[in-house]
Amino acid sequence: MEAIILSGGFGTRLRPLTYTKAKSLLPILNKPMIVHLIETLPKEVNKIILAVNYRKDQIENYFNENDFGKEIIVNDEPKPLGTGGATKFAEKHITGRFLVLNSDIICSLNLKDMIKFHINNKAIASISLWPVENVSEFGVADVRENGKIVGFVEKPKPEDAPSEFINAGAYCLEKKVLDYIDTGRLVSMEKEIFPQIIEDTNRFFGFKLKGYWMDIGRISSYIDVHRFLLNRNKIKKFQGNNCKVFGTIKETCIGNNVTIGKNSKLDCAVVYDNALIGENVELSYCVIGENCKIADFSDIRNSVIGDNEKLIENTILDNKAVWTQPIPEGYPDKQIGNVIEK
């Protein structure tokens, strides 16, 4: 069985981290987020097709150097194709029933149970569903008690919502779904293809997810998933190899070869490899990129510092994104702005 993992986006809401790294390779507890997903794949999935575009070489190099016991194909899209277009572009690798998964979601979905649910219902397509409180911000599934989905309502008023469940980004599909998708253009599976399947087949189902579900789309959610996983594992910090910590760290993850100076305090922070944090520094709810240097007596809050940046003594930042280097060629030309949105 094959699994297509969507890994081609720029991750613009996670800039400047994604100026230097593919979004799917951003570390969560010092392990690329896409690896967290791969480790949830059941044994029957023996082939992984990575739908990539931006930083394809970086992703390819990572999987050439790391073996996960499955065949991995890096499927380079000539241009961003959307969920549907990326799925269609992988058609030559699909032999039967298959999965389509988003690389930027960390959740408790049991894919083996979802596949079983799909088979038992003789479904053409099954999607994972997650309950939300603010239904008016999403496309909401009109789902029956047996799990059959008969439609979607886009951003309904709470009193008009057919359910509390939204699309949670994991799909189990029969190969015939590929016949619905045009070749070579950007296609939204969710807006263009799923409604057709519902109308034509009446065999579209939703698998309700229990536990946790986090979409790592923003700096805030990227930090939050670290804090959540630390608390879930009942640990106060996560530390890589060869670190020198002379300060205190709480609800914080630090990478390899990180130095933290005397009297420094890190609270709910993510620090990448080879970072140097000086003395009397306070970091709160922020991300510090690889090879960064934060000089003494700095106070950084609600902010993200890109790779290889150097901050002078007494730097005070709140709700900022720091990037002083050239933006990669071809990266969407958008203002960084205030990236933290709580």
Q: What are phi and psi of 255, to 5 degrees?
A: -80, -155
Contact 255, 239 (CB under 8 A): no
What gap in Å lies between CA 44 and CA 41, rounded to an integer?
8
Phi, psi (rounded to 5 degrees) for 167: -65, 125
Enumerate residues 6+ apart whose C-beta is below 8 A from 163.
Answer: 140, 141, 142, 143
**Alpha carbon distance 56, 63 (integer Å):** 11
184: three-class secondary structure by DSSP: coil
Q: What is the DSSP string of 34-57?
A: HHHHHTT--TT--EEEEEEBTBHH
Catalytic site residue 116?
no
Report which of 107, 88, 118 is spatially closest to residue 188, judged by C-alpha positions. 88
* Helices vs. strands in the chain: H and E counts, helices first: 7, 27
Q: Enumerate the β-bridge partners of residue 293.
A: 276, 310
Structure tokens at 266: 């890190």
Q: Are 304 and 322 in contact (CB under 8 A)?
A: yes
Is the preceding omega at residue 16 within 30 degrees of 0, hence cis? yes
- Which residues have CB under 8 Å from 48's CB, separation 6+? 2, 3, 4, 5, 38, 41, 68, 70, 71, 72, 73
| Catalytic annotation, pick one of 31, 155, 250, 334 | 155
Catalytic residues: 155
